[in-house]
Amino acid sequence: MRIKQPRFLFMLSFFLVAMLIVQMSLYSLHLFSNWNLMFSVLEACHNMLRAIGLSSMNMLLEVLILSTFSLIVMIIAKQIYQYVTFSKRLSLLREDTATEQIIRNLDLGKQPLEVIRSDEPIALTYGMIRPKIVLSTELVSMLSEEELRAVIYHETFHQKHRDPLKKFIITLLVHVLWYVPILKWVSNHYHTLREIAADRFAMKEANMLDLSSALLKLLKSDHRQRHAFAVSFAETSVNDRIQHILAPEKEVHVTLPVGTVLYSLYIVLGLSIMFMVATP
């Protein structure tokens, strides 16, 4: 199964986010340094809107900017705290002997992998700059050697492409710019694409049946790790992934959320006009 990537929506979402950030930055510069816009087109739009009687929305925009940057600081601080706490907990549960045994048996070389002591089947990749693969002792005992190899290859894809960092950035944007609904749709779809891409990588390096068997065993356990700084093996997009594993040649078209796109454009363009009106 191939899911067509809606590149237009990805690019549109990036453009909307960039537009909002630039507008907020320009307005903030104006507030703190009395910096004036240098682009004649923007000044002409500003003068035209003033002429037709549209009032300034300074108070609303300042609250929006303050709340946006406050959310960014709060979310980053929260995730740093959770990441440090999570890392300390993993260090206490680390099983060095089991880790060395798996690396030796599967011939993984210097793979940044850790096995932790846990009664829950866990397979995830965590960390922003130097992501690591984490497996639990329960997972190791539950899967066969070939199934375990398939899971490790899946997580290796996430590790090599720094998917935990990408997931964190997307999650941050979704929460901070909550009033742009297309971002949530893009976030969900992006995670689906990354999981399918990781499965494809695993199927090239291991057996398709081993990957599907491992996924089904983890689904039956009904235990999924959810962290903004980590990507878990059975966290999202389970139905799409199973279909992809069973029929990798089939193509599935994604329904375009036209209403969500139009509403997002309306919100961003409306805010852009308000910023132009408010900035002399």
Report how many domains make up the chain.
1
pLDDT tens across 6-35, in order? 566 667 777 778 778 777 777 777 666 655
What pLDDT band is residue 1 in, cutting at 50, 70 and 90?
very low
pLDDT tens, position by position, 106-158 = 877 777 888 999 888 888 898 888 899 999 998 889 888 898 998 999 999 99
Q: Which domain holds residue 174?
A: 2-278
Tell me how far CA of residue 167 lies from CA of 87, 209, 238, in angstroms: 18, 28, 17
Report the mean per-residue pLDDT for the chain: 77
Q: What share of the chain is helix, strand, coil (3-state, %, to 5)?
A: 70, 10, 25
- Average pLDDT (165-177) is 88
Mean pLDDT of 258-267: 84
Can you point out the beta strands (E) in 89-137? 113-116, 123-126, 132-136
End-to-end CA distance of the chain: 53
Q: Is the pTM of this model over 0.75?
A: yes
11-25, 42-56, 133-147, 200-214: which has the minimum mean pLDDT? 42-56
